[in-house]
Amino acid sequence: MTVEPSFALIVLCGAMVLASAVVYRVTGLGSPRVVPWASIRAVLQLGAIAVVLAAALRHLWSAVLVLVVMFGAAVFTSARRAEAGRSGIWLGLAIATGIAAVMPVTLLSGVVPIHGVTLVSIGGILLGGTMTATSLAARRGLDAITQRWGEVEAALSLGFADRPARMMVLTGAATDALIPGVDQARTVGLVTLPGAFIGVLLTSGSPAQAGAVQILVLIGLMLSQACAVAVALELVARSLVARFP
């Protein structure tokens, strides 16, 4: 099963974009331009990446280069979402730790072949999920320190060192950041059919193959997110990632 670019596709997508804009306008959800602008960006970005990937996936080195660019974009996005300014660059360490915990063992185990398509597909999914968890952990962690600074000062006055005092208010941030990934694993097949599963089915793979790929991605993503969130909170606790007035 494939969806081909066609006039009917353009009309259908245009109608849904218009309907979304109307809902925004009528219900007061926000500017009616939000969805149209996001849709235009999506079309342009996906069109560009499709052209790039068509060439990049032919060689292993070019696929690695694509992943490096994606990693840079993930670090920039995570730092911006965390509102950590220049210190947000340290979140790259958290994201890299998460990816390093999964990708090497996945490729070297022989479970998946080592070629461009595998690197970009699995690496892209892991990067996206790990970036989201890292951003959420850092943002919630920094918010917690700001909002509960009195508790941190109280711990410091009792003789706690700076890091343990900050860690006392950061635990909840870790839990919040990991909930989406864990919930996705809990509800897969019951409530949702994730992208990796659908992708394999649409490319004529069997349901068993689709399930195997999705299990690999979900479990790998939970490990990657757990490692990344742990490092992100450590960076916040040590004030390497911080909000400066």
**pLDDT tens digits for range 77-111:** 999 988 888 888 999 999 999 999 999 888 888 88
Residues 6+ apart with CB under 8 A from 148: 169
CA separation for the pair 95, 136 (Å, rounded): 12
Q: Which pTM value belongs to this model?
A: 0.78
Per-residue pLDDT of the chain (245 residues; tens, 9 = 90+): 456 667 888 899 999 999 999 999 899 888 888 999 999 998 898 888 777 777 777 778 888 888 898 899 999 999 998 888 888 899 999 999 999 999 988 888 888 778 777 788 888 889 999 999 999 999 988 888 888 888 777 888 888 887 888 888 888 777 788 888 887 777 776 666 656 555 655 555 566 766 777 788 888 889 999 999 999 999 988 889 888 75
**What DSSP character marks residue 136?**
H
Q: What is the pLDDT of residue 205?
A: 56
Return the axis-axis angle of helices 91-108 and 60-82, rounded to nearest 10°.
150
Give which of 141, 129, 82, 79 is closest to 103, Cα–Cα.
Answer: 129
The predicted structure's pLDDT at residue 185: 76
* The pLDDT value given to residue 97: 95
| Contact call for residues 196 and 220 (beta carbons, < 8 A) | no
